[in-house]
Amino acid sequence: MEEVLRFEPITPFTARIVVEELDHRGVTFPEGTVVMVSSFTANRDLGAGGGEPEAFDSTADRGRTRPLTFGAGIHRCLGASLARAELGEALAFLAPRMRGLELDGEPAFGTVSGIYGLEELPVRFTPTAGSLNPRPAMPM
């Protein structure tokens, strides 16, 4: 789940306004400067803990480093814990029901204008018994 959040953040960038002059790594940002923060790029730098940063690898050990998908500090998303719980439950439910899951075409992403996501994700898999109908059929 953390690898999904790292590799494709729902908010790939955000903007902040510098409220007082700031020096960072030899660069001075005057008060009022708009700074673009890219969680997409920052998350790719997490590869140093294990695995290749540009590759999706759900088995890579990235250490205790968490992706910046939900921001940090006072700008941390209030729904981050709920989103992680929902994604974890969804993946745990779907994984055993979708054997051999693989792409069946190119994914289509929405525009990168704030929050974005997949518009199409063509996949193929072999359903397991009862996988598409989680409730038993009701007798007629």
Name the DSSP letter for residue 136.
P
Q: What pLDDT digit, counting tens, does each position of 88-134 carry?
A: 899 888 888 888 888 999 988 877 666 777 888 899 998 876 655 55
Q: Point out the least confidently predicted range of 7-16, 43-52, 57-66.
A: 43-52
H-helix or E-strand spanning residue 84: helix 80-94
Tally the residues of the chain.
140
Q: Which backbone phi and psi does 33 adopt, to 5 degrees?
A: -65, 135
Domain boundaries of the chain, sorted by first residue: 2-97
Q: Which two tokens stand for residue 64?
A: 């205790």
